[in-house]
Every structure is written in structure tokens, then in C-alpha cells.
Structure 1
Amino acid sequence: MIFQKELIFPEIAHVLYDYFISIGFSETAAKYFNMLGLLLAMLLIISILDFIIRKILIQAFTAFAKKTTTTFDDYLVINKVPRNVAHIVPLFIALEFMPTVLIDYKYADSIAEKGLHVFSIILTLWIVRSLLNTLKSYFKTLPHLRDKPIDSYIQVFMIFAWIIGVASALAIVTGFEFIKFITTLGAASAVIILIFKDTILGFVASIQVSINDMVRIGDWITFEKYGADGDVTEINLATVKVRNFDYTTTTIPTYALISDSFKNWRSMVNSDGRRIKRALIIKQKSIKYLTKEDIERLKGIGLLTAYLEKRENDIDTYNTSNNINKELAINGRNLTNIGVFRKYVESYVASHSGINKNMMLMARHLAPTSQGIPLEVYAFSSDRRWENYEYIMADIFDHLLAAVPYFELELFELPDNSVPPMPMSS
């Protein structure tokens, strides 16, 4: 229940009323324009004070943060704690002067006071959220807390804060005492949960999705369980709509986003490249040591000339200094066709115009399989658009597939058991 407060500066309550009466306004019009003038003056004063206090607090906190060694005050500025705290004084002034402004409109004054009290609760929640985010960011910098589920603890505190805040706001709007409101709500909670189970699950999921920034409208997500692979177009209390790349629409329950696993491609879209991770499977029986003749022949490949000359010199020096018997190729250090091919793959991919040179790039062997040895290309395309990404990857592997025979290697493929075509009769 909100009671009428004692007026502050009652002498200004009708400061414009007498003037409007003197120039011929009716009593009703004079009261209305008097209220409007005081309201505009109050809003102007509050706006100026809010701007000044906000600037002072932000600059003071920023200057103080620069002088201290701890990062806690830096996180206070980053999470906008000074900005939110700065709104307290203007809100207090509005609460104190609103009865004076609306002295002739008691009902409007009651509604305005309730609105300001509700806003004070919202402002308190903003401040609490900023402080909790500050604590979360700061705790994550402490070595003994880095492996602790800080996010979960902060979320629990924030959920309780929101529950208390919403209950307080509803108690103010309805005029009930807070304790009676909570008691009544608790008695009806079992029925509410039973009737609105799906809505409550969706509501909780929406809060979790929002707090954890799991999905945004426009994100590309892949949700295999529901057959979704496309852009999120809508997020509401009950469902998330995904427009697939074949222009069909998949509807996913909102609570499935926190109960099941899905893939969000946002970080890839926002990064500097899109990953290429594909392998050529080399037949193991085609792998061999390179002879001098093989090395001389491969030196004709421009991307390998300098590499082979240096490696050949290093290997000859090592074998000579260690008196290695080279009658058998297995002795000492040697070059292999798959090793040289791996170097060629890496050099070719690195020289490709569609590859981001500032991100990880390598050609590597994977564990041998029954089909052969996978030689994998791991790199990132500079263009993240799907069609261009596919073109870049195909262009690279077109070349590598055609290059394999130059190294006397063979690719694995299943036997072709089809009957050869009959020769045409003359």
C-alpha cells in the first residue's frame, strides 16, 4: 500500500496556477497546465542530474580503476555498475517531487508512485545483475576458482533475485502486502505448475537461453534430433523456429535447447575463417623410400625444390657423419614419398588464395585404418560463405587428387566389380 507523503516545497505546488488564472485560464485548465509545467521542469532537472552524475561516476570509477592493481574495479566499469548506480539519485528526486507535481491529481499520483516504485525494483535488479556479472568475471580470473561452475552459482542468485523482484512489483501493483502475496502465490503454485507446465518449462528455458546467450535470432544452428539445419528466425516462450537451407521450417521446443545438445555456428560465422577438415586415404602398399632419381624428379615441382634440396643435404650430412650403410634404404635417415607429398600438400594449401594464412594450417597423418593412412588437410578458408567455402575446398582437393600419382602413391577406393562394356563390333 502506498501512502501519501508530506509535500516537499509545498509553495511551488501551484507556482504556475495563479499565473494561468490571471491570464484568463479556467480553473481546470490552470491546474492542468500547472501540472504539465512542473512535470516538464522535473523531467528536465532529472535528465540533467542523471547525465551529470553518470558522467562523474563513470569517470571517477575509470580513473580509480586505472590506478589500482586489481581488476575488480575494471570489471565494475565494464559491467556498467557506475552507470546503473547513477540512476538512484534522479529516481529518489522523482519519488520525492512527484506528489508535489501531481498535487491536484491524486489518482494519477498514486499510479505514478506505483510506477516509480516498480522502476526502483527494476533498477535494483539491474544493479544486482551488474554486480553479479562483475563477480563472475572477476572470479574467473582467480586461479583457484577457474575450474568452478561460477556461472551456475551466479544464475541461481539471479533467478532468486528475479523471483523476489517480480513478486515485489506485483505486490506493489496489486496493493497486497509482500508476505501475503508470497503466501497466496505459494498456495496456488501446485495448481499453476500443473496447468502451465509447458509454459513454465519454456519460460525457464527462455531465461537460460537469454542469460547464457545460447541462441540469437539469425544464428545458424544444427539440431540433428529435430532435423534442423539453418537460421533461427523466431524465439518465443514455447518454440524456436529454424528456416532450413532447403527453405523448410523446423519448430523446436524452447526447453529442448537446454535439455538436448545442438550445434551453434555463430562463433564460426564471427571468426576469420571456416574450417576445412578433410582427408585423402593413401594405400599403405604404395608408400616407399625415395631414391636419388625420385628426388631429382620431384625437385622439378616448384613448391618442393628448396625443401628437397635442404632436406637432401641435411640427410646426406647426417648419414655420412654417422657412417650409415646405405646399401639398404632402411638404414639411417631417408625421404619417403608420403612424407614429401605431405609437405607438398601443406605448401600448396598455404599458397592457395582462398586460405586464411593467420589461422591454423597443417597437413597431418591420422591413425592407419583398414583402408589405408588418412592424410588430412586442416586449414581455414578466408571466405565463410557456404558456396564459396565449398568452392575453395573442392578447388584444393581437385588439385591434390590429381597430384597423388606424381608421388607414386595410390588412393584407396572400393573394388569396381562392374562388368566392363562389350567392345563394339566393326
Structure 2
Amino acid sequence: MNILEFRSIFNELRSLLTRQGLTGNELIYSYFFIGLIGVILFLFITIFITRQVFIGAVKSAKTKSDWQKALFEFRVFRAFALIFGAYIIYNVVPYLFEDFKTALFYALIFAKIYIVLAVMFAINAFLNALVSIMEASKKYADKPIRSYKQVAKIIFYIVGFVLILSIILGESPLYVFGGFGAVTAVLILVFRDPILGFVASVQMSAIDLVRVGDWITVEKYGADGEVTEINLTTIKVRNWDKTVTIVPSYAIVSESFKNWRAMEESEGRRIKRHINIKISSIKFCDEELINRLKSIDFLKDYLRETQEHIERFNAEHTVNPNNLVNGRHMTNIGTFRVYAEKYLESNPYINTEMTFMVRQLQATENGLPIEIYVFSKEKGLKKFEEVAADIFDHLLATVPYFDLEIFQSPSGSDMRQFINRT
């Protein structure tokens, strides 16, 4: 319906009331109230029909896509129907209030503001539907889509606010935008977190720092768990103890944090733990110990080959055999390291293609650390811990067979036993 049709309808209404003998204020107020009631009824009917046309067109489709479901869920059709209603109000107001010049001025301002609000409402509904669809897609499931939605909404709200302000003041929107220069510092202060969050979101997306579903650890904020939501200013982390930690988005790009995604995408998860050996228990292997260790399947070949090699070396260098310090001899700690390597190589849960070593660390007041540095094929937390525990259960139980002792700080009962013996 165009403007000329609105004019002809209201002219016909005025002519009809005049033919009924109405004049003066009776004509003016009758014309206004009848016209107002007619406009309200017309609005309800047209908005209803518009919604039904949109809805009917979508429902007529044979298959229901994610788009259709999202458009219904977020009432996008209702929102766009309101724009049509706002357009009707704006075009009707000049004829409805033509006898009330002062009221016409304010009614036109109201109609313009209503159009802006209707457009903003429609854009907001469409953005919600769009984000819902993108989050459901595997392609965008791990992207900070909500951050971009919030930024878009802020931009539209600012533009809408400027348009409404320009309508009220009767000035150009460019004039109102120009006036914002004086309050830029205040706006930056008020929107500091959203601005920092937006910059952080762009950086996180550009260099793929964090995705929804990543396991991250941010010690400063006590976060250690899965990222469930990335917003404009915050990142929501569901910790493994089922609590929730909120981390500022800008903290991810400005401070240190740990993302475990690379580990989950790799071929293994690192086991890096050590056993402290009591230094006083370390010694050269004598014949008795060697013969006893030869009964261990993992060491039979190693002991035989190493013993032959040592004997040839000592014979070639005419080593005095009366003192084990002379020449070359096996030690119980070295043989234990070899055993640990052989044992780990045979473990089906250890990935020997990745970094694999059993090494000796710097001795401390707590003994000599023998560190296991390998990668488990099992990366899930529960199974990983089971694999690591099984390895160290076995190694700790094996240590005494090499005449070695685990270092342990004395407890109260140890001190009492020592005092009783003395």
C-alpha cells in the first residue's frame, strides 16, 4: 500500500463523517479516533498476515533445515513483520494527526524512533539465529562466534542510539557522531573490557590460540579444564572438579597459559616422573648380584653381552681385578636404568616412536633422581594416570632386586625405632 492510497482512505473517511453532518470539534475528534482504531486494527491484521506469509513459505519446504529451525526459534519473522508495521505507522501519522499540528510533530518523532527500534530488533533476532546456526556447524563450533556477535550488536546499538538521538535533536546523524569526539575518552573508559576483549578475540581467532572444547590451564585464575564458551570479554572454563572459572579474554593474549590441544592432537601424552634412589645404596655389581639378575628375562642378554665386553676391556688394559674401582664394572643403578628401558619398551601403552629415555638427574639432598621421560599412547586423563601408575608401581617394587633403596624422609616411627636400637 503506497502513500497515495493512505491519503485517499483518510480523505474518504473525512468526507464520510462530513456527510453525516459532523462539523468542528466533533468532526476532528471523530475523524481522529475512528482513524486511530482503524489503523490499530489494520496493523494487527497486516502484521499477522505478514508473519503467516513468511511462516507459510518456510513450512511449505519439504525438509526442515537448521536455518528454518533457527528462524522459528528466535522469532525472526515476527521481528521483520514489526518493520512493516513501523513503515505503516510512519506513513499514516501525517493524516491521522493533520488537525493536531503540535501532536503531529511529536508523533512523527515517535514513528521514526519506532522504525529504528524495529530494525534493531530485527537485526538482533537475525544475529541470534545466525550465531545459533554457526555454532551448530562443525566448521565454526570451535570459533569465538559469540564474541563477534556481541561486537556486531554493540556497533548496531551505537548506530541505533545515534539515529534516535539525531531524530530527537532534529540534527543530522553525522552531526551527532561528530559530537562523540568530545566523549571518546569516556567511552574508551566505559567500554575498556569490551574493546580489550574484542582485540583478544581477533588475536585468538587469527593465531588459533583457544577454541571451544580446548583443555586449558590458567594458573593465575585457577582455571584447569575445558573451554565451554568464548564471549567478547570472558572465557568460561569448566574445571575438572565441575566448578566454573571465568577468565578475561584479554588475559589469554597478555598472560601465560597452557593449552593442551597440541598434546591431544599428537601421538602421545608425556609421562615425566622420577624415583629418588638413596645414594648410599648405589654400588658396583658383584658376582652374586649379577648371577641373581641373570634370572630376569629383560636383562639376560644385556648382562651377558656387557659382562663379555667388560672382561675383554679389562684384559686388554691389564686391570688389577683385586679392586672394583679399577677398570670397568657394572653398577646396580646403571643396570636398573637398563631394566627400566627394556620394561618400558615392552609396554604396549608406550609410544617408543616419540621421545623415550630413562635418565639420571642431578643428585640432591633427597637422593639421586632416576627420571622416566616417555609418551603414553593413552591420552585420556583416567587411562593415562592408570598407565603411569602401573609403570611406577612396577619400578618401585623392582628397586630392591638391584640392592637399591628408595629415598624417603624419616617419619616419627623411624626415629623412634632408631632411638630404641641405640
Give the Å deviation of 1:267: 0.3
- 2:194 pairs with 1:199: yes
Question: Which letter does structure 1 place at the counterpart of 2:328?
Answer: R
Equivalent position of 1:321 in the other structure: 316
Question: Which letter does structure 2 place at the counterpart of 1:341?
Answer: F
Deviations 1:44-65 (A, max 9, x none): xxxxxxxxxxxxxxxxxxxxxx
Cα 1:185–1:313 change in 2 (3 A) is farther
- 2:353 pairs with 1:343: no
Pick from 394, 401, 413: which aligns with 1:399? 394
Cα 1:208–1:296 change in 2 (3 A) is same
Deviations 1:179-237 (A, max 9, x none): 99997776653332122111111111111111121110000011111111100000011
Pick from 328, 335, 357: which aligns with 1:333? 328
Equivalent position of 2:86 in the other structure: none
1:258-407 map, 5 Å = 258-407=253-402
SS at match of 1:232: strand
Question: Which letter does structure 2 place at the counterpart of 1:299?
Answer: K
Which consecutive residues of structure 2, in runs of 5 or more, have no partner in the other structure? 1-154, 164-173, 418-422
Pick from 239, 244, 252: which aligns with 1:249? 244
List structure 1 segments (4+ residues) > 3 angstroms apart after TM superposition. Answer: 179-189
SS at match of 2:391: helix
Cα 1:312–1:190 change in 2 (3 A) is same
Equivalent position of 2:214 in the other structure: 219
Question: Which letter does structure 1 place at the counterpart of 2:229?
Answer: E
Equivalent position of 1:238 in the other structure: 233
**Between Structure 1 and Structure 2, how many residues are aligned?**
252
- 2:403 pairs with 1:408: yes
CA–CA separation in structure 2 for the residues paired with 1:273 and 1:323: 48
Structure 1 or 2, whichever has the larger Rg, is: 2
- Cα RMSD (Å): 2.9
Cα 1:180–1:364 change in 2 (3 A) is farther
Give the Å deviation of 1:371: 1.1
Equivalent position of 1:142 in the other structure: none
Question: Which letter does structure 2 place at the counterpart of 1:333?
Answer: R
**In proportion to residue count, which structure has more helix?**
2
CA–CA separation in structure 2 for the residues paired with 1:400 and 1:199: 53
SS at match of 2:298: coil
1:4-19 map, 5 Å = none
Give the Å deviation of 1:360: 1.3
Which consecutive residues of structure 1, in runs of 5 or more, have no partner in the other structure? 1-165, 422-426
Give the Å deviation of 1:357: 2.0
CA–CA separation in structure 2 for the residues paired with 1:277 and 1:386: 15
TM-score (norm 1): 0.55
Instruction: Using the aligned pairs only, state the percent identity.
Output: 51
In terms of mean alpha carbon deviation, does 276-285 or 412-421 score higher?
A: 412-421
Give the Å deviation of 1:381: 0.6
TM-score (norm 2): 0.56
Question: Which letter does structure 2 place at the counterpart of 1:202?
Answer: G
CA–CA separation in structure 1 for the residues paired with 2:406 and 2:250: 46
Deviations 1:355-414 (A, max 9, x none): 112111110000000011000001011110000000000111111011000000000011
1:128-207 map, 5 Å = 189-207=184-202
